[in-house]
Amino acid sequence: MTRPSYPTALAVAALLAACGDHGDHAAPPAVRGVEPWRGSFEAVVATDLDPAADVVEVALEARVADVEIATGHHVSMWTYDGVLPGPTIEARAGDTVRVRLRNSLPEATTIHWHGLRVPNAMDGVHVVQAPVEPGAELTYEFVVPDAGTFWYHPHVRSDVQVERGLYGAIVVRGDDEPETTTDRVVVLDDVLVDDTWQLAPFDDSQAMVGRQGNVLLANGHASAAVEIASGGLHRFRFVNAANARFFRLALPGQTLVQIGTDGGLLEAPREVSEILLVPGERADVLLRAGGAEGDALEWKTLSYERGHMTGAEPDLPIFGTTLGAAVDAAPAMPASLATIPALPAATVVRELTLEESHDAGGHAGHGGGSPVFSINGASFPDGAPLTGVLGAVEEWSIVNATEMDHPFHLHGFRFQIVDSVPAWRDTINIPAMTTVRFRVRLEDHPGRWMFHCHILEHAERGMAGELIVE
């Protein structure tokens, strides 16, 4: 991977002056400070309604609910079962998962199982299923083949429905999980609220960089904190459910050990000082929390320029972590984790170019019209689907020809980035003006699979495509 250096402050100032302040170039809204959250930190876990050991059955009602996202601030959101994030679905690799969805929202919806390799008919996208109308029900059922951290969200009007709060985590455990003191999900998000603390209107000026919020949420709450035992080995499964925000995660003063990516465990733990988590992406992190009882640590998202002045934001706190009483005994840091066989050379090579433009009235990136996004010249659903052969190994070059980063996601399969640490991925950043290559085996599941930018405003405005595998 190659990427040009960041623009200097002077160049940025010049760019800002030249652009004026069209909606699509406004600096991101300032994130609000709020009172500390005193309630629980943990996401609610879904109840398994099926007594069989290898079947997990969950009932989810999509409905409007008031959610206290920050102390004293109740926001009318769209939720699964009235909670934010939606209930975490827990299963073991190989289990059958059955989810009965009841739609009590004012509009049609679906559920997509992001990262789970499910049969095509269960993928929750409009090309394979009719959306579930208000008042209707639908049951999704599939086997979960892989251990890892995944998530679920609608795939119709996803820019609006996910921002309103429709998302939840899925944790699939395997036979060889590392032993840890704790194991928790942390779903990250941001929402844009107005002066009355309700969700701000959705409008096209948010489309260029994606709707970036002014309240940061960890498991549905701003300014929350979790207590963990000092000296323990703690596992955090991060999910980025934001429409557009890139979380550049760091815990100042502590060493993070990444053990997993989108598609499960790495081969071995890796010490890192920070993790860039793009929309849709997951990371599993171990923390050996050293320090005295009562010490307070703070997870932050560091300033990151992904294009269009987004780097003007300062480093921001996300949630706190306080150290409780020390553990008597803590598991050792695992030496190795999983085996990830390298994919063989590809028999099919493709190049996909990500592009942005405006529909009228100006040159690309600076015009007056609404932004339009495309891949290889076609704005989805225009353009012919790609076709692939079941079982083939393909190599895809994703060329980002735009001046901002785009997180690229492929449904149905997991892939490996070429010339990188062995890892299974389904959502990766393609930095501005950069090309990233990955290999994918089109295994097990024929059908119509989508790929798209996971900045949801971009996906809904054409930066998407379809791969037909048969």
| Residue 282 in contact with ligand C2O, rule: CB under 6 A | no
Distance between CA atoms of 429 and 33, rounded to whole angstroms? 29
Which amino acid is located at 328 in the chain?
Answer: D
Residue 177 burial (CB count, 10 A): 17
Residue with tokens 């499964």: 237
Q: Which does 414 bind (CB under 5 to 8 A by kind): Cu ion, ligand C2O, none?
A: none
Q: Does 458 bind ligand C2O (CB under 6 A)?
A: no
CB 373 within 8 A of CB 381: no
Q: Which does 406 bind (CB under 5 to 8 A by kind): Cu ion, ligand C2O, none?
A: Cu ion
Identity of the residue, 128 or 455, whose beta carbon is nearer to Cu ion in the bound complex? 455
Residues 6+ apart with CB under 8 A from 76: 64, 65, 66, 198, 199
Instruction: Check residue 411 for interaction with ligand C2O (CB under 6 A).
Output: yes
Nearer to ligand C2O (CB atom), residue 236 or residue 451: 451
Q: Residue 265's beta-bridge partner residues?
A: 260
Of 85-93, 267-275, 310-318, 450-458, which segment contacts ligand C2O by CB under 6 A? 450-458
Among residues 154, 210, 264, 280, which is the contact residue for ligand C2O, using CB under 6 A? 280
**In sequence order, what DSSP letters do the residues of 129-190 get, joined into one string?**
SPPBPTT-EEEEEEE--S-EEEEEE-SSSHHHHHHTT--EEEEEE-TTPPP-SEEEEEEEEE
Least Cα distance to 159 among 372, 466, 453, 364 occurs for 453
> 450 contacts which partner out of Cu ion, ligand C2O, none, CB within 5 to 8 A by kind?
ligand C2O
Reduced to 3 states (helix: H, G, I; strand: E, B; else coil), residue 97 is: strand
Based on CB atoms, which residue is closest to ligand C2O, 43 or 156? 156
- Binding-site partner at residue 455 among Cu ion, ligand C2O, none, CB < 5 to 8 Å by type: Cu ion
Note whether 461 binds ligand C2O by CB under 6 A.
no
- Residue 125 vs 423, nearer CB to ligand C2O: 125
Residues with Cβ within 8 Å of 426's Cβ and at least 6 positions away in sequence, in order, are 114, 115, 262, 263, 280, 409, 410, 411, 413, 414, 415
Q: 392: burial class by Cβ within 10 Å (0-12, 13-18, 19+)? A: middle
455 near Cu ion (CB under 5 A): yes
Give me the least distance between CB of 427 and ligand C2O, in Å please. Answer: 7
Contact with ligand C2O (CB under 6 A) among 81, 149, 150, 155: 155
Residue placing its CB nearer to ligand C2O in the complex, 50 or 146: 146
Tell me the closest approach of the beta carbon of residue 278 to ligand C2O, in angstroms.
11
Among Cu ion, ligand C2O, none, the one that 25 touches (CB under a kind-dependent 5 to 8 A) is none
Taking Cα atoms as reference points, which of 146, 191, 144, 184 lies closest to residue 167? 191
Burial group, residue 187, by CB count within 10 angstroms (0-12, 13-18, 19+): buried
25 touching ligand C2O, by CB under 6 A: no
Query: Whole-number minimum distance, CB 411 to ligand C2O, in Å?
Result: 6
| Residue 306 binding: pick among ligand C2O, Cu ion, none (C-beta 5-8 Å cut-off by kind) | none
**Contacts to Cu ion from residues 380-419, by CB under 5 A:** 406, 411
CB of 443 to ligand C2O, least distance (A): 19
Tell me if 410 contacts ligand C2O by CB under 6 A. Answer: no
Judged by CB under 6 A, the residue of 56, 75, 86, 112 near ligand C2O is 112
Query: Tokens 């692939």, residue?
Result: 388
Residue choice 458, 461, 465, 467 for contact with Cu ion (CB under 5 A): 458
Q: Which is nearer to ligand C2O, 32 or 157 (CB)?
A: 157
* Binding residue count for ligand C2O, defined by CB under 6 A: 10
Among 221, 300, 306, 409, binds ligand C2O (CB under 6 A): 409
CA–CA separation, 88 and 42 (whole Å): 10
d(Cα 202, Cα 215) in Å, to the nearest integer? 16
Structural contact between residues 68 and 217, judged by C-beta atoms closer than 8 angstroms: no
Distance (Å, rounded) from C-alpha 7 to C-alpha 18? 15
Q: Could you give the 3-state DSSP secondary structure of residue 459?
A: helix
- Point out which residues bind ligand C2O (CB under 6 A): 112, 114, 153, 155, 280, 409, 411, 450, 452, 454
- Point out which residues bind Cu ion (CB under 5 A): 114, 406, 411, 453, 455, 458
